[in-house]
Structure formats: structure tokens, C-alpha cells
Amino acid sequence: MTAATAEAEAARPPVVEERTATKVLRWLGKAPIHILLVFLGLLWLVPTIGLFLTSLFAPEDVNNIGWWKIFTKPSLATFQNYQDIYHNESIRSAIVTTIIISICGTALPILVASLAGYAFAWLEFPGRDWIFLGVIALLVVPLQMALIPIFSLYSKVGIFDTKLSLILFHTAFGLPFAIFLLRNFFIGIPKELLEAARIDGASELRIFVRLILPLGLPAIASLAIFQFLWTWNDLIVALSLARDTQPITVAIFSQLRQFGANLELIAPAAFVSLAIPLAVFFAFQRYFVQGLLAGSVK
């Protein structure tokens, strides 16, 4: 057989033959890797698909049939559950609460952090680098260290169980990372631009609004995505510092005690709570990865 192939090879122009041969060989050599990666990729997809398909079962089927059998003979899939949770008052208000907390909990820390980031990057004051070091040190403080005193403080001030109280907490704990990221980005802005503006007599506030913010947009974008996801996905803060102000994670959590009896509610609610971060991730994937690398690899 090899002899026959060799003869066939000799008959054709050798250069082309070699190229295709090596191509085929290389492809064959890589085939196991491709197969392995396809398998692993599916493994990573299955849980999310499973959650989605589970959410499509009618209440009477969800506990009796595995989600992988949903498309048997007559398809059992229905969007009824989504309609139901849309009309479910507590889930709907939970989603609205989550949206409000996430948007305000993203905008506020970014504003505060960019002011501070500018000061750390371009303003002169004594002990600047030491203070900045202190801010970075706060990065590792677990939020568990704050829950109990803040709980008491909120009760005393009278803002316990409000959206505002959650937003303020998220703002504070988002700040160390935000200041770190923005300061490092702002410091890369060319010095000449700032000095030209200062010589022209622009105030620091004007420089900040007109120069720093627009130039810092890429960093602000990746930061916004992180902060948004962080507040959207929060469970522990809302669970500890609020009772009736329930974001979606807490709403699902309160249903979890009867897991199995109410899967037709839990599954679609969990999928909704997961769909929005996924949409954000897919829309801004580039910024997401950039922010990730800026935050960790330095």
C-alpha cells in the first residue's frame, strides 16, 4: 500500500503533494485536541442549557421529567413560566430593585473613584503614595468585617432596608479596586496634555471633566462592567442589610427552602438573573477581559 501511495505521489507535482500531506498529517495530529476541546466545551455549556430547559417545563412536568427529554415526541417546552414570573409581583419588584441598585451602585463608585483616581495620579499632596497604598490595602478587607457595624449603623440612622443603604455599601466596597484601576490608567495620560491645559488657566475640575474623563473612558468602561456585575450578582449584602428590599438573588434564595416544590419558579427566575449579566458580558466582552487583565496581571 505504501508503495502504491509513493507511486501516486511521484506521478504528481511533488511540492503540492507534500503540502497537502503535511496539512492532513497536522490536522490528524491535532484531531484528539479538537475532540477533547469540543467535549470540554459541551461540559461547560450543559449546566446553563439544563437550567434554561428546566425553566421551560410546565409545573406538572418539571419534577418528573429530566430536562434532556423536553423535546421528546410532542415538545413539552412552554414559556408559560416566564409569563407567570412576569406577573409575579415579588419577582417583578425584585428585578426592578436589582436594576436600580446595580445602576446606581455602578455610577456612584465610578464618579467617586475617578475623582480620587485623578487626585492620586496628578495632584500634589503630602503622603500621596502612602495613602494610595492604604487604599490598595483596603482591597483585601472582607466585607464580612463591615456587615455587623453597618447593620447597627443603618438601624440607628433609619435607612435600614432601603435601596439607598445597599447602594452606599456597594459603592464603598467597590472603591478600592476602582481607585486602583483608574489611578493606574490616568497616570498613563500624557503629562503634556495636562500641563498645556494648566498653562491655559483651566481649573482642575475643568481638566478632570474635559480631559481626564473622556480619555479615561476605556478604563471606566471595563470598571463599569465589573461593578455592575458585582452589584447585580450580590447576595450577602442584601441578605444581611435588608429584609423587604429584595434583589433577585435574595428573592430566589427565599424560594430555595422549598427546592423541588417550586422549580417552575426558581428555574426561570435564576435564568433571568443570569441572562442579564450574560448579555452584558457578550456585549462588552473586550472591556471585560481588559479590565480583568488590568486588575490582576500587572
Partner 1 sequence: MSGASATAEPPVREAPPSAEPGKWRQYAIAAAFLAPAAFFLGVWIIYPMIKTIIRSFYGRDGSDFVGIDNYRTLFSSDTLVRAIENNAIWVIVVPAAVTALGLLYAVLTERIRWAVAFKTVVFMPMAVSAFAAGVTWRIMYQQEPDRGAINAGIGAVKGVFSPTGVLSEAAPSSDALEQQPSGALTLAQPLQAGDVALLGLTRIRSEEVPEIAQQAVEPESKPGEITGVVWRDFKPGGGTPGKVEQEELGLPGVTVELRDSNGEAVETAKTADDGSFTFRDVSQGDYTVGIGASTFAQPFGGVSWLGSKLITPSIIISYIWIWAGFAMVVIAAGLAAISRETLEAARTDGATEWQVFWRVTVPQLWPVLTVVFITLLINVLKVFDIVLAVAPQSVQDDANVIALAMWRTSFGGVSDFGLGSAIAVFLFLLVLPILAIQIRRFRREQGA
Q: Hey, which residues between 69 and 98 contact partner 1 (CB under 8 A)?
A: none
Residue 66 phi, psi dihedral angles, 5° rounding: -70, 150
Cβ proximity to partner 1: between 8 and 275 the closer is 275
Inter-helix orientation angle 217-232/163-186, to 10°: 150
Region binding partner 1 by CB under 8 A among candidate stretches 3-11, 15-23, 184-192, 213-221: 184-192
Residues 9-68 that bind partner 1 (CB under 8 A): 30, 33-34, 36-37, 40-41, 44-48, 50-51, 54, 63-68
Q: Give Cβ neighbours of residue 200 (< 8 Å, ≥ 6 apart).
A: none
Nearest-approach distance from CB 66 to partner 1, in angstroms: 6
Instruction: Give 260's DSSP letter.
Output: T
Which of 249, 264, 265, 287 is close enough to bind partner 1 by CB under 8 A?
249
Residues 153-182 that bind partner 1 (CB under 8 A): 153, 168-169, 171-173, 175-176, 179
Q: Cell for 275? A: 441572562
Cβ proximity to partner 1: between 46 and 196 the closer is 46
Sign of CA dihedral 117, 118, 121, 124: negative
Q: Does the protein bind partner 1 through residue 278 (CB under 8 A)?
A: yes
Nearest-approach distance from CB 78 to partner 1, in angstroms: 18
Which of 185, 186, 287, 288 is close enough to bind partner 1 by CB under 8 A?
288
Q: Does the protein bind partner 1 through residue 202 (CB under 8 A)?
A: no
Cβ proximity to partner 1: between 8 and 193 the closer is 193
Nearest-approach distance from CB 5 to partner 1, in angstroms: 28
Q: Give Cβ neighbours of residue 189 (< 8 Å, ≥ 6 apart).
A: 121, 211, 212, 215, 216
Number of residues that bind partner 1 (CB under 8 A): 98
Q: Does the protein bind partner 1 through residue 129 (CB under 8 A)?
A: yes
Can you list the alpha helix ranges (DSSP code H) found in the chain? Answer: 2-11, 14-54, 80-87, 89-122, 128-137, 144-157, 163-186, 191-199, 204-207, 213-215, 217-232, 236-241, 248-256, 263-283, 285-296
Q: Does the protein bind partner 1 through residue 148 (CB under 8 A)?
A: yes
Q: Cell for 192? A: 503634556
Q: Does the protein bind partner 1 through residue 215 (CB under 8 A)?
A: no
21: nearest Cα among 45, 39, 37, 2: 2
Which of 110, 135, 219, 251 is close enough to bind partner 1 by CB under 8 A?
135
Nearest-approach distance from CB 29 to partner 1, in angstroms: 11
d(CA 254, CA 123): 48
Cβ proximity to partner 1: between 12 and 34 the closer is 34
Q: Does the protein bind partner 1 through residue 223 (CB under 8 A)?
A: no
d(CA 77, CA 63): 14
Cβ proximity to partner 1: between 158 and 259 the closer is 259
Q: Does the protein bind partner 1 through residue 190 (CB under 8 A)?
A: no
Judged by DSSP in three states, 188 sits in: coil
Nearest-approach distance from CB 24 to partner 1, in angstroms: 16
CB of 103 within 8 A of CB of 167? no
Residues 97-116 that bind partner 1 (CB under 8 A): 109, 111-113, 115-116
